[in-house]
A = this chain, B = another copy of it.
Amino acid sequence: MATDSGELRDSGEPIVPGPNSVGFVEKRSATLFVPPNPLRLAGGGELGPVTVSYETYGELSPQKDNAIFVCHALTGDAHVAGWHTPQDRKPGWWDEFVGPGKGLDTNRYFVICANVLGGCQGTTGPRSLNPQNGEAYGLNFPFMTVGDMVEVHAELVRSLGITKLLSVVGGSLGGMQVLEWAARYPAMIQSAVCMATAAKLTAQGIAFNAVGRRAICTDPNFHSGQYYDKPQGPNVGLALARMVAHITYLSDASIEMKFSRRLQVGDRLSYDMMRQIEFQVESYLHHQGKRFIERFDANSYLYLTRAMDYFDLAEGRGSVAQALSQTNARFLVTSYTSDWLFPTIQSKELVRAMIEAGRHVTFIELESAYGHDAFLIEFEWLERLVRPFLEQTLLAVRQSSFGVR
């Protein structure tokens, strides 16, 4: 998803974080699965050591009971909130939702986010060097799944001395990870917030991913994934993949509102086939493609979209209800009226399965014109839901701990 939330600074003046910002934050890194204990992947491969890039916000309580893990979406990263330097152009991708007094209130909670396995923002992925030959993996990176991503993040959480998470929170592919957490580590999470997500991707979603991958793989600069030592990678294909994906993140109404049929130059049509960009919406999409290639790796895009295609919470577990039957976690599920990539009907199916599994679940379809991207944009209602949901979870956890003592 776009990590477009947050303030854009074009003034060049150094940023001075406000009182409701987490302020300046540091990138951290952990080395896990060190041989002879490598990560064993669902597809049969092994990886080790695995580097995990992560950030934390707020303070871990002495009882270590206030940790929340945030799962980022397809093209996100560990930098959820705050600024790395005063020169940053924008803050973390969920800065409006994570900070002092915000939805995930860093005055109360210890928030962790890590780049996913297979990503390209610090965690081991296809661009990393294969320790066996010192070369970038490319397509020799082992096949990986959403389950493998969660496996790595669970190990990170344990390495931080945390045995139970107050909550796991995420949208889209991040929401798939949240569901996988609940199925894979049922005792490790006390609650889960699943936003704009589903127990599996629709065939239409797979179709859009297929087009994106096709654009990358047919780019003459792809070189079967071994493009890292070449002057140029499959930038054209990656930009195309982003363009088509970006359309699926917006709603028809939000594109209409933002651009309608407005022209890029002047108010008269050019009647010129040489002009590739005539309408503003075209310029916007081209710009999205261009910005994306500056920050993302094409091989990561292939691996992560494939992991998304593969994700099926029920697979090997009988059903979605059975997959969620082992956890006592409370669930909060949100969908968005104009999201057609992960439509509300899928959230409802998920909620039905949660109820069937006897889980405590709160569900709301939020009114939004922003399509799938709504979970990165609409915070007012979300905060009103998430804050009491987390408070009640923490209260229940502390009461139960107190009772046990």
Contacts and interface: CB of A to CB of B under 8 A. Distances in A.
Main secondary structure on A side of the interface with B: helix
Contacts of A30: none
Nearest to A236: B218
Contact of A261 (B200, B278, B289): B200
B206 A279 contact: yes
Interface string A245-256: 001001010011
B215 A256 contact: no
A285 B210 contact: yes
Contacts of A240: 211, 214-215, 218, 240
Interface in A36-51: 42-44
Interface stretch (A12-20, A63-71, A77-85, A267-275): A267-275
A226 to B, nearest CB: 13
A160 to B, nearest CB: 30
Copies, count: 2
Interface of A: 42-44, 139, 141, 143, 145, 200-204, 206-208, 210-211, 213-215, 217-218, 220, 236, 240, 243-244, 247, 250, 252, 255-256, 258-261, 269, 271-274, 276, 278-279, 281-282, 285-286, 289, 302-303, 306, 309-310, 312, 340, 343
A175 to B, nearest CB: 18
Given A203-B260, A273-B143, A282 B210 contact: yes
Contacts of A213: 276
Contacts of A310: 269
Among A213, A282, A343, max chain B CB count under 10 A is at A282
Contacts of A279: 203, 206, 210, 309
A376 to B, nearest CB: 19
A274 B43 CA distance: 13
Contacts of A44: 271
Contact of A206 (B42, B261, B274, B340): B261
Given A43-B271, A202-B256, A274-B139, A207 B343 contact: no
A97 B197 CA distance: 41
Given A215-B240, A271-B43, A306-B273, A285 B207 contact: yes
